[in-house]
Chains A and B, each alone.
Chain A
Amino acid sequence: MIPVEHTRIIVEQELEGARSWATRHGMEIGWLPEDLQIRVTFLQPERKVPYFLRGTLRDYRVLPPEWTFTDENWQTSGRPRDFPKGVATTFGPSIFIMHGQTTVICVPFNRLAYADHAGPHGDWGGPANWLNAGAAHIHADTIGDMLQAIYRDFSLTQEQMANP
């Protein structure tokens, strides 16, 4: 839908801010331009357990990224053992949920949260509506803001959704 080179240019512009955010929080952002993929290792503050957050950005920004946690090889996704167990926050329910047998980062800026991508939300107008969807929910519309939003709830978690 969107020329790959177009997406790369947009992502690389947004990565300037995102990388500054990551540095402030002691992280590095991996960017694989051939795969249009972002990789960030989040470390749970208390237990120091690493989680592997992967964003796939085909057709970004017409569609939101696909954000998911994977195994340590950045391949297998959706497993509860690789996913943080959500805890209620001062902002409301956690963004980390189970939907059926799979895990979902349930935010309007995640393509995988929409029903037509096997997510729970058939009420957000589809992923092409992501910039206006879920107005009462957490909002983020750049890569840096998305990482900050996911890390905000991640930093409150203590354990995996399921034991390895």
Chain B
Amino acid sequence: MEPQSQEHRDHEVKVIVFAPRSPHPKEFTWTKTLKVGEAAREAASAFGYQAGNPGLQTEGHHPRTLDNKKTLAEEHVKNGEKLELIDTGGGV
């Protein structure tokens, strides 16, 4: 297999995703043009989620929910960033 070119790598972002159901995170490499919602669905599937409305939020004291309709680049997701799976459904 040929090594990936620098240009190819520049179009990708490697992140660490946590899920509340799992004690261990998983690593994902996504293209920066991937929509957040699509990335969340891929991660949710990898963690075994079969239903719901997956989304991603940043880590930290004041987590920020990423917009499922925007791309990872538009949401400024960086290499090595830690993200957490959430469900984006509403109440009542």
Among B21, B22, B63, the one with the most A-chain Cβ atoms within 10 Å of its Cβ is B21
Given contacts A91-B89, A149-B87, A153-B91, contact A139 B21 (CB under 8 A): no
Q: Within 8 Å CB of B20, what residues of A?
A: 17-18, 21, 142, 144-145, 147-148
In this complex, how many residues of chain A approach chain B with their Cβ under 8 Å: the count is 38
Q: Within 8 Å CB of A106, what residues of B?
A: 91-92
A120 to chain B, nearest CB (A): 8
B59 to chain A, nearest CB (A): 7
Given contacts A139-B52, A148-B86, contact A97 B21 (CB under 8 A): no
Given contacts A139-B51, A142-B20, contact A92 B90 (CB under 8 A): yes
Q: Are B18 and A138 in contact (CB under 8 A)?
A: no
Q: Within 8 Å CB of A96, what residues of B?
A: 91
Q: Within 8 Å CB of A97, what residues of B?
A: 91-92
Q: Within 8 Å CB of A19, what residues of B?
A: 23
Convert A138-158 into 0s and 1s, putting 1 for each residue whose CB lies closer than 8 angstroms to a CB of B. Answer: 111110110111001101000
B61 close to chain A: CB less than 8 A: yes
Q: Are B86 and A141 in contact (CB under 8 A)?
A: no
Convert A103-143 into 0s and 1s, putting 1 for each residue whose CB lies closer than 8 angstroms to a CB of B. Answer: 00011000000000000000000000001000111111110
A109 to chain B, nearest CB (A): 10
16 additional contacts, CB 8 Å, given A137-B90, A138-B87, A138-B90?
A17-B23, A20-B22, A20-B23, A45-B62, A91-B91, A94-B92, A131-B51, A144-B21, A144-B22, A145-B19, A145-B20, A148-B20, A148-B84, A148-B86, A148-B87, A152-B87
Identify the A interface with B (CB < 8 A). Answer: 14, 16-21, 24, 45, 86, 89-97, 106-107, 131, 135-142, 144-145, 147-149, 152-153, 155
What are 25 residue pairs bridging A and B, where the CB atoms are less than 8 Å apart in the complex? A17-B19, A18-B20, A18-B21, A20-B23, A24-B18, A45-B61, A91-B90, A92-B89, A92-B90, A93-B92, A94-B91, A96-B91, A138-B52, A138-B53, A138-B87, A138-B88, A138-B89, A138-B91, A139-B89, A145-B87, A148-B20, A148-B86, A149-B86, A152-B86, A153-B91
